[in-house]
Amino acid sequence: MARKRQEETPAPPLSDFDALAARAGHRFARPELLRQALTHRSAADPRRGQLDSNERLEFIGDRVLGLLMAEWLIERFPEEREGALMRRFGTLVAWDTLAAVAETLDLGAFLVVPPGEGRAGLTGRRNVLADALEALLGALYLDGGLDAARPFLRRAFAPLVEADSRPQAAAKSRLQEWLQGRGFDLPEYRTISAAGPAHQPVFVVAVIAAGREAEGTGDTRRAGGAGGGGSVAGGGGAAVSGEAMGGGGGALPAPKTRCGLVAVVGAPNAGKSTLVNALAGAKVTIVSPKPQTTRFRIRAVVMRDGAQIVLVDTPGIFAPRRRLDRAMVAAAWGGAQDADLTLLIVDSRAGLTDPVRAILERLAKGRNRVWLALNKVDLIPPQRLLPLTAEINALLPLEETFMVSAQTGDGLAALLDRLAAAVPPGPFLFPEDELSDLPNRMLAAEIVREQILQQTHEEVPHHATVETESWQERKDGSVRVDCTIYVERATQKAILIGDGGAKVKAIGSRARRELEALLERRVHLFLNVKDRPGWDEERGRLRALGLEDLE
């Protein structure tokens, strides 16, 4: 039996939608996309669910927002390093920022919602407004491509992007910094109760800070905390910030989250990539016994105690000779400069080598916080560790020292706990369920290169690179991946191919199994080997590896 379609609040007149389209600066060829972008799921046809609501448009709009905002920030701040750009990006695409922009556009007046809803209902909820803004971006993209979405985004966000030449700290960060600067503990947020229907909940949240406690209500936990924060500040319902604690005003910080970049640096073969994989609890970067395995920065995302730790695995730092070597070392130092904290990994078996001394000298000239992790402690007598630690600290006093084994897991839990506490307050930079920022095409190339490192010897591994030429999705859910292996000389090509193609088949077979395990799908992997003299001096090849071209 067919279900009766749920009655809606009458949609705004077509002329109003035309007015919104004009405000967006785009004439819709498919005006139904605009209406769908403004239809909340509770007002959609129950028989069609998401297909009639803005949820699917919100999904694509979120991706459009990320791409266009990143493109804009790169153009607007050409001298700013990656770490600062990521903080700025995180603030601009945060939920509360999107809601504020939606309010300036008065999107709530255009929303299609169930009967009885109004300003006090769904159209007044900030999370609903933020979702509608993303859905509107998705509708603009589907109707007119990036050329339609880009100018709208830049007009809507221009006041925020241009407000300050420096990345803005979130209100929550200002409050926490204010409290810490005066010797107070960080604020605590506690949900007292949650009531009401799923589409319109009411949260009661307690906020405790600077010896004061109060409760607030709202349609999200964050909004509930805002009401309580105003009472804590003694502001008669005004939102709280660090300034409000001292008598000023400001906006209440979100329930506390912490996030920071941790650059993992060290000499080749210190075990950096193995340690990053162990801390992440999954394989996010390739490993091999050979030095200089990692060629570019890879970020691993680790969630710990409400904090997001972004581990930046960097190439080993050594004396470079080739253009490739110089780009790899530059990538390592660039990762350290962008980070909130630098974690120096030292192979405890090798001790204080000349490369480690050179790294310590360079780190001493910077301003970053530096921690030390002595790795492979399971392989040497314990009595050697304290003298080594003292010797390193004599060259560069380090904030923290940890004795760990990436292979056995010893000491890793304590290291993660301290990192989670040390990263600064701020919004998450990546989705909580994301493991790495490495695209699948680069992952495939790296897995193939890992097998080259493991199955060949002498000069071949260090004179080989891999590029994914083609990635084709198949209807059965599998994927076809075509990779090309470039080597310096014809003799190296012959070694890689092997007798009757045996070597390249073995490399492809193991790489395919590894990829299938990581991607959780069937993979059809095809390898081609080419000799290309001087590839490690070519700018194009370096860019394909994600490395900056250095003279």
Residue 272 sits in a domain whose CATH number is: 3.40.50.300
Residues 406 and 272 in one domain: yes
Q: What is the pLDDT of residue 140?
A: 92
Q: What is the pLDDT of residue 205?
A: 67
Residues 297 and 389 in one domain: yes
Helices (H) and strands (E) in the chain, counts: 19, 12
How does pLDDT run along the chain (551 residues), one tens digit per residue? 333 334 444 445 444 567 777 778 888 888 888 888 888 777 665 554 455 678 889 899 999 999 999 999 998 888 888 777 888 888 888 878 888 888 888 888 888 776 554 444 444 567 788 888 999 999 999 988 999 899 899 988 988 887 754 544 444 444 454 454 445 556 666 666 665 554 455 556 666 666 566 666 655 444 444 444 443 333 333 333 333 333 333 343 444 688 888 888 888 788 888 888 888 888 777 565 545 555 556 778 889 888 988 888 766 543 444 444 455 445 444 555 667 888 999 999 999 988 889 888 888 887 778 899 999 999 999 899 999 999 999 988 888 999 999 999 999 999 999 999 998 888 887 777 777 767 788 888 888 888 888 888 766 767 788 888 888 999 898 999 999 888 888 888 888 888 888 999 999 999 999 889 888 889 999 999 988 786 555 565 555 555 454 45
Is residue 91 within 8 A of residue 257, CB to CB? The reply is no
Residue 233 to residues 171, 194, 218, 236, Cα–Cα distance (Å): 14, 24, 18, 8
Q: What is the pLDDT of residue 40?
A: 77
| Final residue belonging to a domain, choices 210, 245, 280 | 245
Residues 409 and 484 in one domain: no
Q: What is the pLDDT of residue 256?
A: 64
Nearest Cα residue to 516 out of 528, 508, 527, 505: 508
Residues 224 and 121 in one domain: no
Residues 340 and 279 in one domain: yes
Residues 155 and 57 in one domain: yes
- Residue count of the chain: 551
> Is there a domain that residue 232 lies in?
yes
Q: How far apart are CA 134 and CA 226, in angstroms?
A: 24
Number of domains in the chain: 4
Residues 128 and 179 in one domain: no
| Final residue belonging to a domain, choices 392, 422, 452 | 422
Indicate the pairing of strand 307-313 with strand 341-347.
unpaired
- pTM comes to 0.52
Backbone angles phi, psi at 472, to 5 degrees: -120, 120
> Is there a domain that residue 549 lies in?
no
Residues 81 and 141 in one domain: yes
| CATH label of the domain that carries residue 40 | 1.10.1520.10
Residues 222 and 306 in one domain: no
> Is there a domain that residue 478 lies in?
yes
| Final residue belonging to a domain, choices 245, 276, 305 | 245
> Is there a domain that residue 433 lies in?
no
Backbone angles phi, psi at 532, to 5 degrees: -140, 90
Q: What angle do CA 50, 51, 55 make, to 5 degrees?
A: 45
Q: What would you report as the CA-atom Rg of the chain, rounded to the nearest whole angstrom?
A: 27
Catalytic residues: 62, 134
> Is there a domain that residue 486 lies in?
yes
Is residue 375 within 8 A of residue 403, CB to CB? The reply is no
Residues 45 and 134 in one domain: yes
Residues 237 and 327 in one domain: no
Q: What is the pLDDT of residue 412?
A: 92
Q: Structural domain of residue 154, as residue ranges?
A: 14-161
Q: How far apart are CA 193 and CA 456, in angstroms?
A: 61
Residue 539 to residues 295, 517, 542, Cα–Cα distance (Å): 15, 33, 5
Residues 192 and 46 in one domain: no
